[in-house]
Amino acid sequence: MKKLKLMSVIFLMVANLLINAQTNHVKVIAVVNKANWCGVCKANGERLSNNIMPYTTKGLEIVINDLTDETTITKSKEELKKSSLYKQIYKANRKGVGRMMQYCGIVHGKNKNMVSGIITFIDAHTLKELTETSIAITDGEMKTIIDKLLN
């Protein structure tokens, strides 16, 4: 019986250490706004994925904000609210981006904040926005941004 109790205590301690290590390991959260109808996303999605996935072992967590249709938007908004990232993504109008997207016919009405092809980098501990960029930037530029944020 003593061995069983000891094993249980050891198991709980190890599990707690693993959970804390995983939680503390994430330094930066990358929220990727994407949509199936987005030409920029289609052209750069696979390249972006290949470039940022290796950083998930170095402290980067990737969250997808799917803006494809009302169903995916609603589901993504719920997930962002659960993880306390909603206000960082659905914030005040992005300067000039909304107007440009409306002009191009990509965004209609007042949904100027729902721009796809954008990555918002957020500090995992303070939940403050660090920077925002297009997924269309070069591989080198993306690597430089992520390296700087993780160091």
Structural domains in the chain? 26-150 (3.40.30.10)
What is the mean predicted confidence (pLDDT) over 60-64?
94
| Model confidence band, residue 116 (pLDDT cutoffs 50, 70, 90) | confident
- CB-CB contact of 135 with 44 (8 Å): yes
pTM above 0.85, yes or no: no
What is the mean predicted confidence (pLDDT) over 70-85?
92
Predicted local confidence at residue 45, as pLDDT: 87
| Model confidence band, residue 11 (pLDDT cutoffs 50, 70, 90) | low
Predicted local confidence at residue 90, as pLDDT: 83
Highest mean pLDDT, choosing among 8-22, 40-54, 91-105:
40-54
How many residues does the structure list for the chain? 151
Strands 60-66, 28-34: pairing is parallel
Q: What is the largest CA-CA distance in the chain?
A: 72
Predicted local confidence at residue 64, as pLDDT: 93
Which tokens go with 129? 């926005």
Model confidence at 144: pLDDT above 90: yes
Predicted local confidence at residue 112, as pLDDT: 42
Alpha helices in 57-130 (DSSP H): 70-82, 86-89, 97-103
